[in-house]
Amino acid sequence: MPSFHTSPGTRDILPPQANRWRAFVAVFADVVETAGYDHVIPPMFEDIGVFLRVGESTEIVTKEMYDFEDKGGRHVALRPEQTASVCRAFVEHRPATPWKVWYSGPNFRYEKPQLGRYRQFDQVGIEVLGVVDPHLDVEVIALASEFYARLGLRHVRLAINSLGDDGDRDRYVVALREHFTARLGELSDESRATLERNPLRVLDSKRSQDADVVAAAPSMRDFLGADAAAHFAAVQDGLRLAGIEFVVDDRLVRGLDYYRRTTFEFTAGSLDAAHTAIGGGGRYDGLVEQLGGPATPGIGFALGLDRTLLACDAEGVFAPRSSRVDVFVVDTTGGAHAADLCAQLRRRGVRTDRAWDARSMKAQMKAADRSGAQLVAIVGDDEVAAATVLLRTMDDGSQRTVPRTAVVDDVLAVLGH
């Protein structure tokens, strides 16, 4: 018989990790819903054209997309991220602005798998459409910071930059191309290839051969127009007022093409270089237009769930928790009483489990022990005859006999429900 394993870059998220994932999304939802963001669920695949807009000169689009022709001959792609889908949804449904939404779920990129880099990975994120106000940039960044704090993370660094408006960015790209072309011989082969496609991405090179040329490259700061510069200054003032620490990194260009003005990235000080970026985002004024909508500014971020949890592990916070039951029912009379008792307790919200297969008392008690339940409700022949249940407190091993009709209320009282 063949035996199957998960595909490279994908994983089974088993208990108790899977509980932790759900708790992660619940904390995120709480933080952003408190700030007025609504939940949105875009599809996991759509017309590839939607994603081509996020950057035809980026690797995410040119090399890493999971795209295929479906049985109806449509060229579709698994989403590599969700910002483009949210903007497409905005154009399709035209909700009132400001449209403030949050999302969570898997994304797909055909990357080289390694720790912290997967082909299927989860993100949580927010997007806001229809607001130019720099105070919103501050709110968006502050929400990510608040979320990290709620997880208990303390070693998260924030870097921000501005990529200016369309014209500013274009002039900067020309200047960068000139700079790198003049020193082409010093660049690595990879950077020479990147330069052809997108000079901005050369700034992202971590290869030591490129370090000097990258360090000497012109800075975006000198190309910002008056509006973009004022916007960036206001964002920095707002962050200071909010008490959020940051550094300005004029080499921060991000991996997608749609960014204008504010961009930002969060890195975990506790992780190794390969996967320190635990979240990022920025403004993408212009993307909605490219998707066929009216001129609409946008800003948002996405945080990598997998990597953020690695950072949590490294800092020893937000530990996974097993979903323990409160009560375990042991029934040595065949199992029908266990079924009845479980149903009654569960109906009242008590987390209850039981043993199966009419096992021996000893085997059932072992299972009760493994379950982590605080209370064990034991039903044997004597209890059935007397219409009682034996309640055992696992902590101290004490036992008492309770009338069958009073057992649910008794359990609720002990658990403090």
Q: Residue 366 is which amino acid?
A: K
Q: Does residue 346 belong to the site contacting ligand HAM (CB under 6 A)?
A: no
- Written as six digits, the tokens of 259 are 């960014």
Q: Does residue 109 belong to the site contacting ligand HAM (CB under 6 A)?
A: yes
Q: Which of 67, 111, 250, 410 binds ligand HAM (CB under 6 A)?
A: 111
Let me know: does 375 contact 327? Beta carbons within 8 Å: yes
Rounded to whole angstroms, the Cα distance separating 197 from 192 reads 9
Let me know: does 394 contact 344? Beta carbons within 8 Å: no
- Written as six digits, the tokens of 119 are 């082909």
7: left (phi over 0), alpha (psi -120 to 50) or beta: beta
Total interface residues for ligand HAM by CB under 6 A = 25
Q: Does residue 300 belong to the site contacting ligand HAM (CB under 6 A)?
A: yes
Q: How far is the CB of 159 from ligand HAM (least distance, A)?
A: 12
User: Which residues 147-176 are close enough to bind ligand HAM by CB under 6 A?
Assistant: none
Q: Where are the alpha helices (DSSP H) in 348-398?
A: 361-371, 381-386
**What is the spatial order of strands in the sheet that 45-47 belongs to?**
45-47, 75-78, 67-69
Piece in contact with ligand HAM (CB under 6 A), picked from 18-26, 220-228, 281-289, 385-393: 281-289
Q: Does residue 55 belong to the site contacting ligand HAM (CB under 6 A)?
A: no
Q: Smaller CB distance to ligand HAM: residue 109 or 337?
A: 109
* Pairing status of strand 75-78 against strand 67-69: antiparallel
Q: Does residue 118 belong to the site contacting ligand HAM (CB under 6 A)?
A: yes
- Residue found by looking up tokens 């039981």 in the block: 354
Let me know: does 341 contact 402? Beta carbons within 8 Å: no
Q: Does residue 65 belong to the site contacting ligand HAM (CB under 6 A)?
A: no
Q: Smaller CB distance to ligand HAM: residue 281 or 297?
A: 281
**Which neighbouring-strand residues pair with 104?**
124
- Written as six digits, the tokens of 252 are 């921060």
Q: Which of 42, 51, 83, 312 binds ligand HAM (CB under 6 A)?
A: 83
Residues making up the chain, counted from first to last: 417
Q: Does residue 306 belong to the site contacting ligand HAM (CB under 6 A)?
A: yes
Q: Which of 65, 252, 277, 309 binds ligand HAM (CB under 6 A)?
A: 277
Piece in contact with ligand HAM (CB under 6 A), picked from 43-51, 298-306, 310-318, 323-331: 298-306
Q: Does residue 137 belong to the site contacting ligand HAM (CB under 6 A)?
A: no
Q: Smaller CB distance to ligand HAM: residue 317 or 339?
A: 317
Residues that bind ligand HAM in the complex, under the rule CB under 6 A: 81, 83, 109, 111, 117-118, 121, 123, 125, 127, 255-256, 277-282, 284, 300-302, 304, 306-307
